[in-house]
Amino acid sequence: MTILNGKAWKFGDDVDTDVIIPARHLSTSDPDELAKHCMEDADPQFFNKISKGDIMVARKNFGCGSSREHAPLAIKYAGISCVIADSFARIFYRNSINIGLPILESPEAAESISEGDLITVDLEKGLIKNETKGEKYYSAPFPEFMQEIISAGGLINYVKDRLSEKP
């Protein structure tokens, strides 16, 4: 059972991939290096302020823009355990599943959670608990096929498993 715990960091609509990881840092693909610059154009101190396990909460269309996988990588390696939003841009959505960054769509949670709230997430159940406000929200479960990618530990492991099944 995967339970995530952390403090919420709140963002608005249309957080784009250039804000998540500006292109000037894309001359490296080292996830730990990318992590240091995560969200720096929105908050230059973001990486230093967050603690391991913290949760990002945003409104609609999170991750819009570029296909750079560096964006979910930067978030994951910065120590963020999960992103909750009203909705996600589609390439960011795929990339997150593929690299194993948990993301949950829940407009209710995204609206109610305030910055600094303590949040607990049960990934399997899609249950989001706001410990600070004493509220519960549910996100829609992943389709079965995506669940398989997630349980395999990301797309690369999933492909490996598939190839080993072939005669």
Partner 1 sequence: MGMTAAEKIIAAHAGKETVKPGELVKAKVDLILGNDITAPVAIREFKKIGLNKVFDPERIVLVPDHFTPNKDIASAEQAKIMKEFAREQGITHYYEVGRMGIEHALLPELGLTLPGEIIIGADSHTCTYGALGALATGIGSTDMAAAMALGETWFKVPSTIKFVYQGELNPWVSGKDLILYTIGQIGVDGALYQSMEFTGPVIRALSMDSRLAMCNMAIEAGAKAGIIEPDEITYAYLEGRAQREYRGLFSDGDAIYAQEIEFNVSEIEPQVAFPHLPENTRGISEVGEVPLDQVVIGSCTNGRLEDLRIAAELLKGKKVHPHIRLIVIPGTQKIYQQAMKEGLLDIFIEAEAAVSTPTCGPCLGGHMGVLAKGERALATTNRNFVGRMGHPESEVYLCNPAVAAASAVTGKISAPEEVL
Which residue ranges make up the site for partner 1 (CB under 8 A)? 14, 16, 18-19, 22-24, 26-29, 41-42, 60-61, 64-70, 87, 89-91, 94-95, 98-99, 143, 145, 154-156, 158-160, 162-163
116: left (phi over 0), alpha (psi -120 to 50) or beta: left
Q: Least separation, in Å, of the C-beta of 120 and partner 1?
A: 28
The token pair at 130 is 């706001």
Q: Indicate the residue among 74 and 119 with the shorter CB distance to partner 1.
A: 74
Question: Residue 147: CB partners within 8 Å, gap ≥ 6?
Answer: 141
Q: Least separation, in Å, of the C-beta of 6 and partner 1?
A: 25
User: Which of 86, 118, 119, 80 is CA-nearest to residue 100?
Assistant: 80
Q: Least separation, in Å, of the C-beta of 156 and partner 1?
A: 5
Half-sphere CA count of 121, side-chain side, radius 13 A: 27
Q: Indicate the residue among 14 and 122 with the shorter CB distance to partner 1.
A: 14
Q: Least separation, in Å, of the C-beta of 5 and partner 1?
A: 27
Q: Tokens 């669940």 identify what position?
A: 147
Q: Indicate the residue among 127 and 146 with the shorter CB distance to partner 1.
A: 146
